[in-house]
Amino acid sequence: MTHYSMSLLANFTVISGKASEDLARKIATKLEAKYIKSELRIFPDGESKITLKNKPRGRIIVVHSIYPPVDSNLIRALALVSQAKRYSSQVYVVVPYLGYARQDREFLPGEAITMSLVAKMFKAAGATRIFVVDIHSMMALKHFQIPAKNVTAIQELVKYFKKLNLKDPVVVSPDMGGAQRARNFASLLGVEFIALEKHRDRKSGEVRIKSGNHHEIRGRDIILVDDIISTGNSIVKAAQFLKKQRCGRIYASCTHALLIGDAEERIKKAGVARIISTNTIPGKTGIVDVSPVIAKAIV
């Protein structure tokens, strides 16, 4: 465990909603800060009521991911921030997975830039600083009018893969947009990387791989690297393509494993041996802890 200067941390209180209790506890432990959990009550009409179990003191760190149900978790996060503001003028907000970050610009005419609204709501609620983990697009951070910092989980994921007995591994990005992420991952792991060429129809959502043959991966283990696995369509298409190249075992690695619907089942059916993600979103694949890098970023 890494311990930080007590003069810096003595006045920190970490509070969390139900969406991120385990991660919030770990962050509090790393910072040697007081931890307060909240109580969630959902009324018959779907309204959420948040109650803090104890009174926070000093600077407050609110920890709350915004994963499905996204709108409900957004409101719950804002409610916690608003409540924290009643006790402190300094409210740091850790949003490990920031829903709506993919809506940071107008892709098709008439689309709302919802990320801009979300950023304004956090400021209005009382947030003074925002911390996110592996945000989908750095452009999303520019919508915040308060200090906003992106923390990467890549090093923590790489540490996990270094412990595995991999056969001449290759890091693969399922699309060109994730090439830099895969390059960084591969560099830290000390292996090669390639990026597949993917096409996604923005209206239908259909995904297809346009890349040619990659004979250099034959018999070698693959680490498919992405920031988010949602429906799993990109990973499924990439795995099916890589299997045709007669590669070795395929691992899927991401920071945020949403795994909507039957995504996990389809990914494994496509030939992926394991899905390894972080605890920004709780779940059985979220085995890599990001609390050390978040704690370090805060101080």
**pLDDT tens by residue, 139-186:** 999 999 999 999 999 999 999 999 999 999 999 999 998 999 999 999
**Domains by residue range for the chain, with CATH:** 6-152+290-298 (3.40.50.2020), 154-279 (3.40.50.2020)
Confidence check: pLDDT of 204 > 90:
no
What is the per-residue pLDDT for 200?
Answer: 66
According to DSSP, the β-strands at 198-200 and 207-209 are antiparallel
What is the per-residue pLDDT for 7?
Answer: 45
Kindly state the average pLDDT of the residues 8-25. 88
Residue pLDDT, tens place only, 217-236: 999 999 999 999 999 999 99
Q: Does residue 198 carry a catalytic annotation?
A: yes
Q: What is the C-alpha to C-alpha distance for residues 4 and 295, in angstroms, rounded to an integer?
A: 9
What are the DSSP calls for 98-153, one per residue? -TTTT-SS-SSTT---HHHHHHHHHHHHT-SEEEEES-S-GGGGGG-SS-EEEE--
Within a 13 Å sphere around the CA of 203, how many CA atoms are in the beta-carbon half? 1
Q: What would the two tokens of residue 106 be?
A: 């107008």
Q: What would the two tokens of residue 245 be?
A: 């190249």
Kindly state the average pLDDT of the residues 54-83. 97
Confidence check: pLDDT of 6 > 60:
no
Kindly state the average pLDDT of the residues 21-49. 96
Q: What would the two tokens of residue 203 be?
A: 């209206």
53, 198, 203, 243: the catalytic one is 198
Residue pLDDT, tens place only, 87-119: 999 999 999 999 999 999 998 899 999 999 999
- At residue 135, φ and ψ (nearest 5 deg) are -65, 145
Q: Rounded to two decimals, what is the model's pTM?
A: 0.91
> Residue 198: which pLDDT band, with cuts at 50, 70 and 90?
confident
Calculate the dihedral angle through the C-alpha atoms of 207, 213, 219, 223, rounding to the nearest 10 degrees.
-40
Residue pLDDT, tens place only, 247-294: 999 999 999 999 999 999 999 999 999 999 999 999 999 999 999 999
> Residue 11: which pLDDT band, with cuts at 50, 70 and 90?
confident
